[in-house]
Amino acid sequence: MEPIRFPDARRRFDHLCDVCKMTFQGDFFEKERSTKPHRNIYTLSTSAGEGCHMCSLIMVSISPEVVDHLKLDLDNSFVDHGEQIVVAFEKFEEYSSLDVLAQSPSLPPCEFDFIWSDGRYRVAHLVILPSSDDDCSDRIFCDSNYSELTIMQITKWLGQCIREHTDCFDMQVVAATRDILPTRLLDLTGVKSGGQVRLISTESLPRNTIYATLSHCWGGGCALTLTTDNLARLEAGVSTQDLPKTFRDSVVVTLDLNIAYLWIDALCIIQDSVGDQDWLYEASIMGDIYANSYITIAATTSPNSNGGLIHQRNPLQMWPCRLRAQSTGLEDDVLVVKFSEDCPRGQRPLSDRAWAYQEWLLSRRLLHFCADQVRWECYCLAASEVWPDGLRKDDPKFCDTPTKVLIAHSRSEPEKLHTLWESIRGAYSGKLLTKSTDRLAAFAGIARMVHQVLKSPSQDYVAGLWKPEILQELLWIRYGDNICVSWDMDAYIAPTWSWASVNGRHYISKTGHNDMVYHASAKTEMVPVGDEYGPIKSAKLLLKCSPSTIVLSYGKERSTFPSLNWSATAIRDLSTDIACALHLDDCASDQSPQRAAMVFSYIPILSYKPTGTRVTISGLVIRASPGPRSQFIRIGVLDLLHLDKNQDEVFQALRISRNSQEGPDAAGSRDRGQAIEEIEMI
């Protein structure tokens, strides 16, 4: 597979339009911060199409949504054609930045949360490096992201990882919790000689069989899946031409790497087995399927099974531009590159998916097939076709693929394991699922890995939380006031006290003294029975505590975030005026708070001092569950903020000892016979 080259390839790199030439002339770069007019979105697109290297880098760095927004501004004459886009220069110690700023009467859907001093929005970002930092590979004008040179580079990365990356081996021991094979694999041994792809059982294969895995988007459904009806057909063999493009391309890549077996979930798991038994079992070992795989091939930018791995590309949109600047303030020879903030968008849609998050986190090695180039990720190296030797985390050219870093920290910083666990779980909770009932199933492999790292009994894991830290972990908060997507409530997913019961990202930011609850125990019924890390049928949490009635009112405009504009006007019989932060799990309630007073039951759990001597108390807001039994559901988290002179009264009303804030050393500081109840939460 020879790379496709264009005539005069080297001449086409680094070609600049007249506007970009003028940018690198004069005294523009002499000041530490300055701006210069550039183009509008239409002329920028035209210039990129005509072969300007820098316009091409700018254009590909602006998201399609922003491009459409800026075109609409021009079409409606909201901005002047000659003033829409400027470039802004800013000098730093090791590099310089070239921001692309756009004038718009309304905020474009930018991925950069940055507004320049003149009110323009940053819509793209390039980096200018001295020629001494020019360590990118030899530029090839190839219009495909996969060629013979790509195969050679992948083979080189593989060899380095196997021979030189001792840390990778250590991390693989952490990620793989069980030495098992998938139930089925695709046998590719006959394909090179014109044969077919056959589905085989792994019963007769040795445990150390080398296989590749595919990470991909289903995109609402796959063009071909394994069912009870076509099982015999796939076992007999199918032509690669009968496979969807993503699957067909993955066969090509697997064979190019001299690997005989490939695992694709859609073709190796029976999708319509009785009671979903085949899927439930394979889902329970999914983490180990990827962790034991030789390499994971990711269809990173493909939206579905027909999108493929191998794409056409414009080389001018990926390779850095080498320039000879005629401007004071810059070295004569410089390199203009896309900034790393471009990369999260460059790894969508797959990077947004929950199953892919687990697959990427646990895989030994990852090969990302992106729209522009192939990227490599293992525990020791993040590299790409442009930067094949990899980059430091603090390098402005670094394209961050952070999944491996999380596990690496588990070995280098064991004292921060619980914080790391919260980071992994918080990031996962923001990922997307087609089936809401997969919320815990798609996280099971990660939970099993963390259990191994923490050396914790499997019984310590319950509905996405760890029992040793369960009181603190109960105080999870939905991320952001404006994120509101509800689960399909027809099926049970998780108890209300688990973050898995809410669709959307969450975080836990509180640490303190949690001696306000005397005892907590949790019980769950797992699916399938015996898999502590998988989906659950039901769960309950027993808390021995002293709940209080609390009255809240909304209306004091302390913040633009609605959750911070609450006040506690009464706790039991005590009249108060305490600033509160109320984080409701029901998004709609949080966004449209009732103006009338609201009465809740409140369980204080944790106290801490964010500022000086002032104490903040954090706890659960609960209410009775409908039904004959005396059970409760969680509806949110309430923080009583910055208690000062009224601390004693509030502690007494909440039936908390004044000394409880001093921590666990203040044993015996509370009257343990005081109105303690056992609350059952579901």
Based on the fold, state whether residues 415 and 551 are members of the same structural domain: no
> What CA–CA distances, in Å, run from 639 to 385, 563, 582?
49, 10, 7
Name the more confident of 606 and 390.
606
Based on the fold, state whether residues 278 and 201 are members of the same structural domain: yes
Domain boundary among 372, 400, 428: 400
pLDDT tier, 485 (very low <50, low <70, confident <90, very high otherwise): very low
Burial class (CB in 10 A: 0-12, 13-18, 19+), 642: middle
pTM: 0.87
Please tell me the predicted confidence (pLDDT) of residue 594.
59
Based on the fold, state whether residues 562 and 532 are members of the same structural domain: no
First and final C-alpha spacing in the chain: 59
Domain boundary among 472, 507, 542: 542
Residues 338, 60 contacting (CB under 8 angstroms) = yes
Which two tokens mark 478?
Answer: 């939905």
pLDDT tier, 451 (very low <50, low <70, confident <90, very high otherwise): confident
- pLDDT above 90: percentage of residues in the chain: 53
Query: What string of H, E and C letters represents the secondary structure of 114-143?
Result: CECCCCCEEEEEEEEEEHHHCCCCCCCCCC
Name the more confident of 317 and 114.
317
Residues 376, 304 contacting (CB under 8 angstroms) = no
Specify the number of domains making up the chain: 4
Please tell me the predicted confidence (pLDDT) of residue 85.
95
Mean pLDDT score, 663-670: 39
Please tell me the predicted confidence (pLDDT) of residue 665.
38
d(CA 103, CA 623): 49
Residues 36, 84 contacting (CB under 8 angstroms) = no
pLDDT tier, 342 (very low <50, low <70, confident <90, very high otherwise): very low
Please tell me the predicted confidence (pLDDT) of residue 473.
92
Based on the fold, state whether residues 36 and 117 are members of the same structural domain: yes
Domain boundary among 519, 542, 565: 542
d(CA 395, CA 143): 27
The answer to whether the Cα torsion of 655, 661, 664, 666 is positive or negative is: negative
Based on the fold, state whether residues 426 and 523 are members of the same structural domain: yes
Residues 677, 544 contacting (CB under 8 angstroms) = yes
Please tell me the predicted confidence (pLDDT) of residue 672.
45
Based on the fold, state whether residues 186 and 281 are members of the same structural domain: yes
Strands 96-102 and 465-466: unpaired
Instruction: Identify the domain containing residue 281 by its residue range.
Output: 148-314+343-400
- Residue 143 in any domain: the answer is no
pLDDT single digits (tens) 251-271: 999 999 999 999 999 999 999
Based on the fold, state whether residues 309 and 329 are members of the same structural domain: no
pLDDT surpassing 60 at residue 401: no
**Cβ neighbours of 592 (radius 10 Å):** 9
Mean pLDDT score, 300-307: 95
> What CA–CA distances, in Å, run from 194 to 191, 224, 238, 251, 609?
5, 21, 11, 13, 70
Based on the fold, state whether residues 212 and 334 are members of the same structural domain: no
d(CA 431, CA 436): 11
Mean pLDDT score, 658-662: 50
Q: How far is CA 541 from the centre of its chain?
A: 29
With a CB cutoff of 8 Å and minimum separation 6, the contacts of 438 are 283, 354, 355, 535
pLDDT surpassing 60 at residue 360: yes
Which two tokens mark 16?
Answer: 């600049």
Please tell me the predicted confidence (pLDDT) of residue 409.
67
Based on the fold, state whether residues 503 and 623 are members of the same structural domain: no
Residue 449 phi/psi, 5-degree rounding, is -65, -45
Least confidently predicted of 39-53, 112-126, 187-201, 243-257? 112-126
Please tell me the predicted confidence (pLDDT) of residue 398.
46
Please tell me the predicted confidence (pLDDT) of residue 479.
80
- pLDDT above 70: percentage of residues in the chain: 85
- Residue 142 in any domain: the answer is no
- Residue 168 in any domain: the answer is yes
- Residue 624 in any domain: the answer is yes
DSSP 177: -
pLDDT single digits (tens) 587-605: 666 555 556 688 999 999 9
- Residue 3 in any domain: the answer is no
Based on the fold, state whether residues 209 and 262 are members of the same structural domain: yes
d(CA 649, CA 672): 18
Please, what is the average pLDDT of the chain? 85
pLDDT surpassing 50 at residue 32: yes
Burial class (CB in 10 A: 0-12, 13-18, 19+), 483: middle
Residues 528, 534 contacting (CB under 8 angstroms) = yes
Mean pLDDT score, 141-154: 95
Based on the fold, state whether residues 663 and 591 are members of the same structural domain: yes
- Residue 37 in any domain: the answer is yes
pLDDT tier, 94 (very low <50, low <70, confident <90, very high otherwise): confident
Please tell me the predicted confidence (pLDDT) of residue 586.
82
pLDDT surpassing 90 at residue 161: yes
Strand ranges, E, within 195-341: 198-201, 212-215, 261-263, 295-298, 321-324, 326-327, 333-338
- Residue 1 in any domain: the answer is no
pLDDT tier, 248 (very low <50, low <70, confident <90, very high otherwise): very high
With a CB cutoff of 8 Å and minimum separation 6, the contacts of 119 are 103
d(CA 102, CA 262): 47
> What CA–CA distances, in Å, run from 297 to 112, 310, 414?
29, 12, 30
Based on the fold, state whether residues 602 and 513 are members of the same structural domain: no
pLDDT surpassing 70 at residue 624: yes
Mean pLDDT score, 375-401: 73
pLDDT tier, 113 (very low <50, low <70, confident <90, very high otherwise): low
Please tell me the predicted confidence (pLDDT) of residue 581.
93
Please tell me the predicted confidence (pLDDT) of residue 658.
55
- Residue 234 in any domain: the answer is yes
